[in-house]
Amino acid sequence: MSDKLVSIVMPVYNSSRFIEDTLNSVLAQTYSNWELIAVDDCSTDDSYEILKKYADKDKRITVLRLEKNSGAAVARNRAIDVARGDYIAFIDSDDLWVPEKLSVQVNFMQKNNVYFSFSSYKKIRDSGELIKIVRAPFKVNYTKNLWFNRITTPSVMYNAVFFGKQYMPDIRARQDYGMWLKLLKKADAFGIETPLVMVIKRHNSLSSNKLKMIKYNWKLYREIENLPLPVSLWALIGDILSRLLFIK
Q: How many structural domains are present in the chain?
A: 1
Query: What is the C-alpha separation between 157 and 167, in angstroms, rounded?
Result: 14
pLDDT in tens, 215-245: 888 888 888 888 999 998 988 888 888 767 6
Taking only the tens place, the pLDDT of each residue in 178-213 is 999 999 999 999 999 999 999 988 655 555 566 777
> Considering the domain boundaries, does residue 161 fall inside one?
yes
97 occurs within a structural domain: yes
The domain that contains 116 carries what CATH number? 3.90.550.10
CA distance 177 to 148: 10
Neighbours of 51 (CB within 10 A): 28
21 lies in a domain? yes
Left if phi > 0, otherwise alpha if psi is -120 to 50, otherwise beta: which for 10? beta
- Rg of the chain taking only CA atoms, in angstroms: 17
With contact defined as beta carbons under 8 Å apart, do 224 and 232 qualify? no
Report if residue 29 sits inside a domain: yes
Q: Is 82 left (phi over 0), alpha (psi -120 to 50) or beta?
A: alpha
* Residue 160 within any structural domain of the chain: yes
Question: What's the distance, CA 104 to chain centroid?
Answer: 17
3-state secondary structure 3-51: CCCEEEEEEECCCCCCHHHHHHHHHCCCCCCEEEEEEECCCCCCHHHHH
**pLDDT by residue (tens digit) across 130-148?**
999 999 999 999 999 998 8
What is the residue range of 20's domain? 6-204
pTM of the entire predicted model:
0.91
pLDDT digits (tens, 9 = 90+) for 84-98: 999 999 999 999 999
